[in-house]
Amino acid sequence: MNLAALRRRLEPLLRRIFHLYWRLARGMTLGVRGVVLDAEGRVFLIHHTYVSGWQLPGGGVEAGETLLDALRRELMEEGRIEVLAEPVLHGLFFNSHVSRRDHVAIYVIREFRQDRMPEPNREISACGFFAVDALPADTTEGTQRRIAEVVHGKTPISTWR
């Protein structure tokens, strides 16, 4: 069995384990993600080692952390991206396919610095900037929707998918 097939088989179990932990550790889960657009209009995406598909960079907001602090931390950890101007809030989305208790704040970042592309690690297997009209085939549905809302002015919906 190849790695991609194994990941697809284990993903539902891993997702349940992570969310069981988060349910015990937090009353509600809150995440933050960034639509990072470079000067050429390309969007930065990441590919995790533990779930399938390309996604916007981001992650959970820790106790005592602001949304913007979490966004800055996650962008640096996952993409070596330093935010240079105030990110613009795109919206808040109910992420029911993950949990009945999960919400995600999406910010748009157009001014940033990236000193280098990060190397793959135990959390992020790949990352890069992609033309909006040439996203990787396995870009997640929610990611595609958020990009279309930001770049093409599509009407946002209240749920992640």
pLDDT tens digits for the chain (161 residues)?
677 777 778 777 777 777 677 666 656 788 999 999 999 999 999 999 888 899 999 999 998 999 999 999 999 999 999 999 999 999 999 887 666 778 899 999 999 999 998 998 998 999 999 999 999 999 999 999 999 999 999 988 888 77
What's the order of all strands across the beta sheet hosting 88-94?
58-60, 29-36, 102-109, 88-94
- Give the model's pLDDT for residue 23: 63
What pLDDT is stored for residue 157 in this prediction? 84
From residue 102, how far is each of 71, 86, 109 by CA, in Å?
Answer: 16, 25, 23
Closest CA to 103 of 147, 52, 160: 160
Residue 25's pLDDT is what? 64
Q: Give the C-alpha separation, 15 to 31, whole Å.
A: 15
Q: What is the pLDDT of residue 27?
A: 66
> What per-residue confidence (pLDDT) applies to 102?
82
Distance between CA atoms of residues 144 and 26, nearest Å: 28
Domains, the chain: 3-152 (3.90.79.10)
